[in-house]
């Protein structure tokens, strides 16, 4: 039997649930969560991706900060911005948009590891990846976590099954 899993429909449902959770936090006097994105360069696909993240944040009630850095900066500039965001208590999550410009790509891992594990929304930091081996999926990478959430939503047990995943990106 073929089952079509509607990720877009589930994403909309989850956005509504998150919106409600953020509203509840605000009603209790908490500050809204804040996501900071770092975009280095002017890759059109990355710009769209980051813009969509900020649009979703606004809808849900999450504050967002977009940091655009010219493509010809040194790795030190990017490191300093990450350090500033790590130290900022009002920033709860950091997303370094990948891919980086070609000359910075050799520093990608180093820059990802520089993001505090507690603020690593992509789940790429080595500590967060290591937590997966302990079945702690709180800060897991987005795509696999999204797939698992989708399978759980449809009550699909994948143990021992062949699976095909079709994704645009």
List of residues 6+ apart from 92 with CB closer than 8 A: 33, 34, 35, 119
Q: Find, among 92, 130, 97, the residue nearest to 112 by Cα.
A: 97
Q: Which of the residues 76, 122, 127, 161 is marked catalytic? A: 122
Q: How many CB atoms lie within 10 A of CB 35?
A: 22
Q: Which of the residues 76, 97, 110, 161 is marked catalytic? A: 97
Q: Is 53 a known active-site residue? A: yes
Distance CA(54)–CA(35), nearest Å, equals 8
Phi, psi of 161 (to 5 degrees): -110, 155
Q: Which of the residues 8, 13, 19, 53 is marked catalytic? A: 53
The rounded Cα 92 to chain-centroid distance in angstroms is: 12
Q: Tokens in use for 48?
A: 């769209």
Q: Is 122 a known active-site residue? A: yes
Active-site residues, by number, are: 53, 97, 122
């Amino acid at each position: 039997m073929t089952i079509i899993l509607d990720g877009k429909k589930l994403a909309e449902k989850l956005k509504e649930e998150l919106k409600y959770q953020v509203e509840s936090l605000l009603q209790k006097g908490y500050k809204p969560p804040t996501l900071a994105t770092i975009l280095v360069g002017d890759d059109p696909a990355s710009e769209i991706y980051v813009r969509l993240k900020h649009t979703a944040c606004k809808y849900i009630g999450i504050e967002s900060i977009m940091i655009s850095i010219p493509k010809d900066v040194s790795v030190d500039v990017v490191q300093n911005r990450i350090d500033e965001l790590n130290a900022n208590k009002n920033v709860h999550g950091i997303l370094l948009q990948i891919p980086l410009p070609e000359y910075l790509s050799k520093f990608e891992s180093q820059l990802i590891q520089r993001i505090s594990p507690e603020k690593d929304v992509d789940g790429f930091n080595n500590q967060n990846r290591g937590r997966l081996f302990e079945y702690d999926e709180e800060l897991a990478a987005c795509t696999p976590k999204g797939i698992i959430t989708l399978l759980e939503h449809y009550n699909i047990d994948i143990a021992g099954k062949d699976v095909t995943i079709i994704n645009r990106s």
